[in-house]
Structure 1
């Protein structure tokens, strides 16, 4: 059989036409066995047109920089408006009711652009003519996840990456295409009109100029590419025999933006299945095959195979499968129907969620002042950090019911006052329209006796955590940061110069029968006994004053060579104090250092840890306070790598403790091959940083503080 034209296909069958015009349904597995090779080539060429994708080659990305809170909110609001993510407007004229709406919008912002997000400008090329394109990438992470590019902006338009699509189902119209076409898209190709599957009808939002997501028929609920519609896909009546570009591919799982990572980790593989993407009318792969009948009168649609005698009745089977799947879905929906929660149930859920939130901070920040909570606590902070992450919303129905407006209090302000009346917290009015918590009775019986319950595993689109086992938020957890609680020891070594070797290499200077190698390193505590031994062996002590050492030619030439201010005076006198001689010899040696962790037995484990001393004096952790954007102070921390402290983990802790944004970027001027990372946190946070460093074994004398806000060094 010679296939003349492929009209449409799904993951199971293909609708095709032979040279005589006869139309049939053919199993997809038989396609390449019987189809004309040239026809197949042109069909695949028409479904995906090869071009040079935007991020097929590595873009030039400048260093990341933290985003101001106001800019982050503005950008998040732009995304919400552009993609229609705002919930239907409600009557929030009451000032008290606005708090709940503000909290909901803050959660949505944080879910789209976390408060740890950083941005950087980039340049790349796009299209067959390699047109230069510039834009901005937004890098951030959600609790428990890796730092990734979440959005990128080109010409004032924000595009989500696949990492954002995997977290926020349904924010874009979803188009489906065969798997081999997806492979072409992941090579930089555009999606052609014949490659559109599972329609018509296509999603109503897939209009000309709209940003859309693309998934394969094999994994229809997992978007793997992002593009822009070049035509009005939603208006297409058919794709059979059509030509031309349908979607311009902007980004895909596997490109350079997908693999971009500050930590150098490879890109994350796509999940096998996601909930939410199939809820807005997108059918399962293979269902569309039921609509591939060529004419209404060809109800059974058989395919004549090579022997011409056997037919494969596919249409009825696929239709039957569709009915079974629909029945299964209806049964599943019936199972999910639950009784409506009463106002009393909702009140109890919110009160228990608050108690859970307090206990969580107490359990995960035991050594911190106020368990990591910074008073006063605003209404939005209470809702987004102490209540919503701990609500027992196991189903979409419960998530819809568990809203502050459906409680007996109606708003967060009255909820806080109820907690104050119960003497769990102490509240205070601020600015006449907001109530804040200024203190919490952590010893209250309700808090102490509270028993944590199982939290749901899903996350809502608005960013409300619906649970991860018994922990709903990440914390200053020692299990995730190996540097917390470590004990450090700084070892300073010295390497004698060639002129000083006679003081160290004499066979009689050590009990050993052989001299140390010339590259041997000495601790300061080892040098002084060697010098004393040399002085006694050479009989250099002054006969009238045992504290003075008489210079011999070796000491005069090797130590007092005129590099120090008092060398001439010492040489003229011919004597030098013993302690001054030892200090001068140590200063003349080349310094080396090693920072090691101390084992349980109190001994440095540099040998077991494989630590090799490094040239130069031991570095200090540098804390810099400087002013940005006029009068805003930021605190920077660098030099953490030598003390085995992870910058990302430290930034995450400071973000919570300081209740402000924090980020990590490469220190300007550091080597790209061996970069030094710098942590930046908003505000004058010197004390918070010092406490965090102390928890990680860094002593105060190992820290250098530079306060550029006052123009002086301390």
Structure 2
């Protein structure tokens, strides 16, 4: 949970009434603590702070800080101790022991797998699923991680000590630990290791003797460790490595589709910043960054869909990247249109991010390809009886040829072709209700084939299918908006050319503006379209309709029927 940096929302001194309530909560959560120990942890007069933070995943967590160290953290109304607190009172939680090589896995954010658990002579601690527990290393009772039991003790044994044992929330050397004094774990002798815990007068009496023997014991034991521990550690690390791989795969299977998409989004974001974005491109439209950079960094066989992530919107995702990680700075340069204006390429997260495997894309595929647009007609409720025999329900979108074929089949199946003149179709009650006006009910008995088809299409809902390269086709109602090219006057009768609706055809307005600048050697600007969210118009000096036409038709391959305003080009325009 704290493997990555978190963002501090507030840091205030705790009031007396809140301290009393916190003591009661601690006493309920950790009944082994005495009243004196509670008073030492949460003093009445010394400084004690409550810090509210947001983790890198957006979870709200409350941290209680005393003696310059975080002692407890609370999330979802559940109170957990930190390693700093447990180093003082290690018996506050049931503990699981593991080998030293496992520690670097826990620090990296991994959970403790059951094959890595060292079972003591007394057996496993008695825990239930979800109980708070700690993790210690062999020969040292000082906890190095805190989490919750993935399964109960009985289930651990029934599973043959395979699978996940402890879901780690916080560990030594993570960012919560770094929020304190960054001290190392104390050496607390493990009673099972042959050194019984001593206290009181007996401990004081034997302290001197232990100090004198410690150096000799250290030299002798070090030799044994150098010989024995590598083999044990190597064997343990191999088992843990295998268990972690199995657990990691199981963890992937347990992840929700939303969590999987969040991880893919994060990977593509880092790779796009690291390998695609150049400083000369800034400021960069956020929509362009997603479409041209992040999508191209998506691994082969996967599809990046931000709507399926927990963020839902690109703006929210980039806001989190800015607030919690400080990787980018996003600014609204024009009203309603956001751009990335700064990237922290020196950030450790960016510099040391693991590369994402992507499929090599030939250079030709990076070229723009216009979307395929197909005119369709949707079946309305009024015409549903006419399409019923063809199993076409209300709302189904059909191509004009399909409509013509279905109507023809209906006429033939119902024997409606006029016997005297095969160019006409007799009107039955269904055609009457579907195609005729009320005033025509008594007068119109036949219709020509062409009129029959035209009336059918007129009464259907117009829609269209648009298929962008590499994406699933989308069906939208109404007419597709054409690219609008016009000339307007701006102060002192200066002419400017305005281009709208480029986004409908997956064209990047900034790329079009740059291409036009190079062609006509005139300045251009991007402006938000009033009343249209996430749409930008390109404005360039002079009457440049002819050059805009050449660019859209010849370079980008947009069909002429989807561009309006080209007829207004001046005959003497620049070439």
Task: Give the TM-score taking structure 1 as reference length.
Answer: 0.31
Which structure is higher in RCO with an 8 Å CA cutoff and minimum separation 6?
1
* TM-score, normalization by structure 2: 0.37
